[in-house]
Structure 1
Amino acid sequence: MGVSVAVQDMVHGQISLHYANANTLSKMAMRAPDGTMLGQIHAYADTMFNSHQLRMLVAEIATLSPVDPEEAATLDELAALATDAIGQHGYLWFCGD
């Protein structure tokens, strides 16, 4: 199934859950270089980023060059979800398959 992404508010209440492009996100996370925010997303376990980490992720996404339209859509969605979580002073919870 891949990685699903949940937007959580500041007290970890789930706001929304997303599965779109989950397999693409898993593949991108697994091949991302060490030390990158994308590379910190674990494809087979849970990962959570706070607002500070999400700001770094959004900045990182802006520098990436997707290899195909599916990756571009995945990065766009991830940036939008991260921005939503930042606006909530919340978190993104990545649930690996």
Structure 2
Amino acid sequence: MGRDLHFEDINHRRVFTDTNLSVALDRVLEKAGTEGLLSGVEKYADTMFNPFQLSHVQAELELVSRRHPELEEDVRALSEVFEKVVRIRGYVWIVGD
């Protein structure tokens, strides 16, 4: 079993959940490096990003995509959803295994 991604609105009401993105997230996190916000996402713990943090996460995703072109599709899928969450001033909650 892997991580689950939940997306919440500004009042922490769950807007949607996407378990399909967990595989993409796992692949990206393997290549994210040891610095930045993505490096703090633990496999067995929960992590939550707010809209401000998500703007930094987006930049980190772009860097992963440039360094690892084979992950471009995974990065695109994650970025699209994260952008939607930022537009509603919501949160991304990554639930560890």
Distance 1:54 1:93 in 2: 11
Q: Normalising by structure 1, what TM-score? A: 0.82
Query: Alpha-carbon deviation of 1:41?
Result: 1.6
Match of 2:82 in 1: 82
Match of 2:53 in 1: 53
Q: Normalising by structure 2, what TM-score? A: 0.82
How is 1:66-77 mapped onto 2 (pairs within 5 angstroms)?
A: 66=68, 68=70, 71-77=71-77
Unpaired segments of 5 or more residues in structure 1? none
Distance 2:77 2:22 in 1: 11
Distance 2:79 2:63 in 1: 12
Query: Alpha-carbon deviation of 1:56?
Result: 0.6
* SS across alignment from 1:12: coil
Number of matched residues?
95
* SS across alignment from 2:44: coil
Q: Which structure 1 residue ranges, 4+ long, deviate > 4 Å from structure 2?
A: none
Partners of 1:30 and 1:39 within 8 A in 2: no
Identity of aligned residues (%): 26
